[in-house]
């Protein structure tokens, strides 16, 4: 059958024609404009299989995210400390573009990328206000099995 050509319209053409890609208007009274953000939160979610870092503003609105898989790591390499430090570098570039100066870091999970991601943020010279571990810990857990009778 052959390859199909996809015709892409520019944003200006879409806006003129009233296409579906026109952004919907939202009320943004509580949020600061992107150029004026001074503080942010970084969520580091590190599991045995992957590491995901999310950058948000103070209100919790996601600005950007990156994972080991999204930057090219595959398989077991996604859960390594080296992959976590590379993800932190990608997020740091966005932090510089937005002009964020202070970060609160929230760590979740048990993977190997927890510590190296925080260390790479600190090594870049950004001011880390707090480091919080928000890993969920069960208080009591499920009911124990009943005693086996022979």
Determine the Cα–Cα distance for residues 90 and 54; give it in Å rounded to an integer: 11
Q: At what angle do helices 113-123 and 81-98 cross, to 10 degrees?
A: 40
Give the model's confidence band at 22: pLDDT under 50 very low, under 70 low, under 90 confident, else very high: very low
Please give the pLDDT value at position 4: 66
Q: What is the pLDDT of residues 64-75, one digit of tens each?
A: 999 999 999 999
Determine the Cα–Cα distance for residues 52 and 109; give it in Å rounded to an integer: 10
Farthest CA pair distance, the chain: 79
What architecture is the 35-133 domain classified under in CATH?
2-Layer Sandwich (3.30)
Please give the pLDDT value at position 77: 93
For 145, phi and psi rounded to 5 degrees? -70, 150
Q: How far is CA 92 from CA 42, 47, 58, 95, 144, in A?
A: 10, 21, 17, 5, 46
Please give the pLDDT value at position 125: 86
pLDDT reading at 102 higher than 60 = yes
> Average of pLDDT values for 73-89?
93
| Higher per-residue confidence, 50 vs 27 | 50
């Amino acid at each position: 059958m052959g390859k199909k050509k996809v015709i892409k319209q520019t944003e200006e053409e879409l806006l003129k024609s009233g296409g579906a890609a026109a952004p919907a208007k939202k009320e943004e009274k509580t949020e600061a404009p992107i150029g004026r953000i001074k503080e942010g939160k970084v969520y580091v979610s590190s599991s045995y299989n992957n590491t995901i870092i999310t950058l948000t503003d103070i209100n919790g609105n996601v600005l950007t995210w990156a994972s080991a898989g999204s930057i090219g790591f595959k398989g077991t390499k996604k859960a390594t400390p080296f992959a976590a430090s590379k993800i932190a570098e990608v997020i740091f570039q966005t932090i510089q573009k937005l002009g964020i100066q202070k970060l609160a870091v929230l760590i979740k999970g048990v993977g190997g990328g927890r510590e190296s991601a925080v260390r790479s943020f600190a090594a870049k010279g950004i001011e880390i206000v707090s480091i919080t571990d928000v890993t969920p810990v069960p208080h009591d857990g499920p009911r124990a099995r009943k005693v086996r009778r022979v």
